[in-house]
Structure 1
Amino acid sequence: MGSQPAVDCARYERGERLPGTVDLAGPAVPEAGRPDRFVWVGLDRATPDGLAEAAAACGADPRAVDHALRVHLRPGLERFGETVVLVLKTVSYVPHKRVTATGEIVETGQVTVFTGPGFALVAQQGGAGCPPAAVRRELEAAPDRLALGPAAVLHAVAHAVVAGHLAVADAFDRDVEELESAVFSPERTDDAQRFYQLKRELLEFRRAVLPLGSPLRRLTDGTLPDLPAELAPYLREVLHRHALAVERLAAFDELVTGILAASVSRLTVQQNADMRRMSVGAAALAVPTIVFCLYGMNFDVMPELRLAFGYPAALLLSVGIGALVVRAFRRNDWL
């Protein structure tokens, strides 16, 4: 396979891996009439040419390949002839010490699963939320489930993707708590930009998770008659875990919105307090300003100009009235 190296490619019979690998240079699907045998091809960072080549070797419907290669494809489940295509969006957490105004929190990618008579093709296209090799190791450790054929691979990938969504939600929760602590800390902080970045990353997270509900429900409602009945409980579990992820995202959205409103309110209160202090200072300085301006007009005939204690009296009067103003503001809880 020249244009796209396969991560792994093997035949399975009754849940056990057969020795050797499969050459994708020619037809790779096992002989007809052997439903207990199938080929599982896994591609990592699949290119369009590599995906098309692998799908052709497996005998997938060309329309399914064209559908999977569309740009900005939403999660969904489609059937073209005997080929079933499940498109999922993966989400991985980008490690960081703290949320910043421009830092990335989540990274999204795409994984596409093709299943049909005698084959399962898993293609990771960007992102790192569902490594095909890890899915293979997990499913090979459960031969009873693997014996159910290509549909078991489809379930394993969906389970891994949804498990990744929940893991990212756990990490996302820590970022929300960190910003919540910053907002309600005694230190004066302006976290509005950090919250907007968190909201943008949360929106990207939601776009990857929410549309997956419809195809998962189709997998559990009997729309695809080829799915083994033994897989139904496992698929319902995936749907349940997806519902948990959706609920957590909704809770995150409400919590972040509420904390952002609290941050803006706190900033407004701080600004009002600053304006009060400035107003008190201006009022306290108003009396000395008037007195000093009055006696700085340089007229020859003015009262109290010849008094020996006129200057200190003016200073004491100004300071005294200013102190009374400050005390009045304190009594009214302005300071």
Structure 2
Amino acid sequence: MIYQEVSGAARRVDCSQADEACRVVLKNVANLGEGEFGWVHLSDPAEHEVVALADELGLHPLAVEDAVQAHERPKRERYDDVLAVALKTLWYVEETSQVETGEMMVFLGPRFVLTVRHGPSDPAVEAARRLAVDPATVSCGPASVLHAILDVAVDTYTKAAVGVRDDLTELERSVFSPERGDVTDQVYFLKREVLEFRDAIQPLVPVLEEFTGPRAPWPEDLLPYFRDVADHLHRADTEVRSLDDLLGSVLDAHLARVGTWQNDDMRKISAWAAILAIPTMVAGVYGMNFEHMPELGWSFGYPLALGVMAAAAGMLYRAFRRNDWL
């Protein structure tokens, strides 16, 4: 799947032979007029596709390696006159409460943009739609594509954070409900998802800070747009940090409640053991079968022994109930 973006007009090129499609697009890029640029987009490409484009566009071998391997943290690199930006794509799966991640590489040259996407989520589609209805932004050059992709990616971060927040609210209700339930696995699962979320967002924050500074390598008309994206990213980063902290608090609260439940159980076991200890002791003494024991020859001795055991057990039961042990 390859997109071509020339002066704000988006056109999708489908071809059974990827190399042939690349040649068509590269030929169009080479014939661009003044103020125009080309946008080539690859989705889960094979290595030879990226290498073919890299040779034609003059990309650095390290840039090709980053685009093919797709295991990069969000970052920016400069290779001569080409700016390479790596970012994580996110999407929230509501059915499984999972945060899935992918990767997008953006290469900005003087007259071209090359984007390489790995994973199901593709911000380039929505970015192309937004640029198609905003020719003023496209006139700023290849950097407009980078802004659009970052804007779409950060919007998905915000949506994913809302889904995680809803899951966390449900966990809080479960933890503080009067019914007993072990949600430790759920808390750890959600915390792992939030950590994956943080790994995608936090490294991108300093990258966008560079893009909004006075030394940013694009027209000043684009700076307010990048500052807006950076502001949204800071909000998402703050939200994810708060989710991580709150999950830690929820886990501590749940473990504290589990400890309280265990203490309650131990007190109940200890109380019943104490209640049963007196009848056991009396029965054990009389069970030793000595001849000279109190009340052995009295007809009311047996009922009296039972009464004493029942009375002692009842008094202990009442005392434990009064102290909330039972």
TM-score normalised by L of structure 1: 0.88
Aligned in 2, Cα 1:18/1:159: closer, same or farther, shift over 3 Å?
A: closer
**What amino acid is aligned across from residue 254 of structure 1 in structure 2?**
D
Q: Distance in 2 between matches of 1:63 and 1:259?
A: 43
The answer (yes or no) to whether the contact 2:37–2:112 under 8 Å persists in 1 is yes
The answer (yes or no) to whether the contact 1:84–1:116 under 8 Å persists in 2 is yes
Shift of 1:64: 2.7
Determine the structure 1 residue equivalent to 2:207: 215
Shift of 1:68: 3.5
Does the alignment pair 1:204 with 2:196? yes
**Deviation digits for residues 27-57 of structure 1 (CA, Å, limit 9, x no counterpart):** 4463488441111111122333322223334
Please identify which structure carries the higher helix content: 2
Determine the structure 1 residue equivalent to 2:77: 78
Determine the structure 2 residue equivalent to 1:119: 112
Shift of 1:292: 0.7
Q: Secondary structure at the match of 2:140?
A: coil
The answer (yes or no) to whether the contact 1:29–1:59 under 8 Å persists in 2 is no
Count of residue pairs the alignment pairs up: 320
Q: Secondary structure at the match of 2:224?
A: helix
Determine the structure 2 residue equivalent to 1:91: 90
Aligned in 2, Cα 1:283/1:148: closer, same or farther, shift over 3 Å?
A: same
Q: Distance in 2 between matches of 1:20 and 1:284?
A: 83
Deviates more, 1:22-31 or 1:67-76: 22-31
Aligned pairs (5 A) from 1:258-297: 258-297=249-288
The answer (yes or no) to whether the contact 2:2–2:12 under 8 Å persists in 1 is no
Shift of 1:59: 4.1
Q: Distance in 2 between matches of 1:184 and 1:20?
A: 55
Q: Distance in 1 between matches of 2:11 and 2:242?
A: 47
Determine the structure 2 residue equivalent to 1:248: 239
Q: Distance in 1 between matches of 2:58 and 2:248?
A: 49
Does the alignment pair 1:155 with 2:147? yes
The Cα RMSD (Å) is 2.2
Q: Distance in 2 between matches of 1:108 and 1:268?
A: 36
Aligned pair partner of 2:185 in 175, 193, 216:
193
Aligned in 2, Cα 1:255/1:18: closer, same or farther, shift over 3 Å?
A: closer
Shift of 1:72: 2.7
Which ranges of structure 1 fall in alignment gaps of 5 or more residues?
Answer: 1-5, 100-104
- Spell out structure 1 runs of 4+ moving beyond 4 A: 17-23
Q: Distance in 2 between matches of 1:142 and 1:71?
A: 30
Determine the structure 1 residue equivalent to 2:160: 168
**What amino acid is aligned across from residue 198 of structure 1 in structure 2?**
L
Does the alignment pair 1:107 with 2:106? no
Determine the structure 2 residue equivalent to 1:39: 38
Aligned pairs (5 A) from 1:17-36: 17=10, 23-25=21-23, 27-28=26-27, 30-31=29-30, 34-36=33-35
Q: Secondary structure at the match of 2:200?
A: helix
Q: Distance in 1 between matches of 2:13 and 2:164?
A: 42
**Deviation digits for residues 241-289 of structure 1 (CA, Å, limit 9, x no counterpart):** 1100110011101111111110001111111111111111111111100
Q: Distance in 2 between matches of 1:28 and 1:324?
A: 97
The answer (yes or no) to whether the contact 1:146–1:153 under 8 Å persists in 2 is yes
Determine the structure 1 residue equivalent to 2:17: none
Determine the structure 1 residue equivalent to 2:4: 9
Deviates more, 1:66-75 or 1:299-308: 66-75
The answer (yes or no) to whether the contact 1:288–1:319 under 8 Å persists in 2 is yes
Shift of 1:214: 1.4
Which ranges of structure 2 fall in alignment gaps of 5 or more residues?
Answer: 15-19
Aligned in 2, Cα 1:274/1:110: closer, same or farther, shift over 3 Å?
A: same
Aligned in 2, Cα 1:318/1:237: closer, same or farther, shift over 3 Å?
A: same
Aligned in 2, Cα 1:17/1:323: closer, same or farther, shift over 3 Å?
A: closer
The answer (yes or no) to whether the contact 1:82–1:116 under 8 Å persists in 2 is yes
Aligned in 2, Cα 1:35/1:60: closer, same or farther, shift over 3 Å?
A: farther
